[in-house]
Structure 1
């Protein structure tokens, strides 16, 4: 844990009752901390063979453009291949970050992922994020 922060950067928990891997991000990280956090996420997702993720980033204030590009171009497609199925990621975001993301030039709505091995959605309500993930599970 970073001594400057009261909680760890990333807490991960598999919710077998929901079939969802929940990641709760504790603070806005220095981009140099992200590779280790994503390695931890990779390890748990592969161990539990879970393709349905909810990432709670409400404590984060911005997205690093280089990390976003890496996630969309490399990490998510790679994880879908390693998990041998389509990856579904629901981001739980606060209002300011949601506005920043959804009005950005590279924002893609859920519908635009129809031809990709992964789908990313942004939600302001945890119940709606989980409901969306469960609807994706039911459709499979």
Structure 2
């Protein structure tokens, strides 16, 4: 497995696993990053993730498809209860792509459906993301 291209840190004070990407990476590298995130999450029993993708500009369709249809459901199953909560921190440019791209809108809507075994939300600011992730904010 490739070493992660992102930093992964568990914040016990917040009960959140934080992954921050400093730049874009190839699809295979990002898959390895997510697998490393899952290993760390299992080790810390962390069901709350902050994924900081503000510095990643590429919105690869294959990554969006893989995370929402394969990886996030598999991670949720591996972690068990409570449900996995994923706050994705995105740049304004990335948020604009999510709004403008039919594929990205459809994929995001799929990932945010209440029937998914995980909860996924996008945020433009870290404060809002952390507020949504804090224990007791399961609404």
Q: Normalising to structure 2: TM-score of the pair?
A: 0.86
Q: After the TM superposition, which residues 1-140 of structure 1 pair with which residues of structure 2 at under 5 Å, given as runs?
A: 9-85=5-81, 86-106=83-103, 107=105, 108=108, 112-134=112-134, 137-139=135-137
Contact persistence 1:80–1:118 (CA under 8 A): yes
Moved over 4 A (4+): 109-112
Q: CA deviation at 1:120?
A: 1.3
Report SS of the residue matched to 2:51.
Answer: strand
Q: Normalising to structure 1: TM-score of the pair?
A: 0.85
More deviation, 97-106/58-67: 97-106
The separation in 2 between residues aligned to 1:117 and 1:102, in whole angstroms, is 24
Q: What count of residue pairs does the alignment treat as equivalent?
A: 131
Unpaired segments ≥5 residues, structure 1:
1-7
Question: How well do the aligned residues superpose, as a CA RMSD in angstroms?
Answer: 1.9
Q: CA deviation at 1:40?
A: 1.0
The separation in 2 between residues aligned to 1:14 and 1:111, in whole angstroms, is 24
Q: CA deviation at 1:64?
A: 0.9
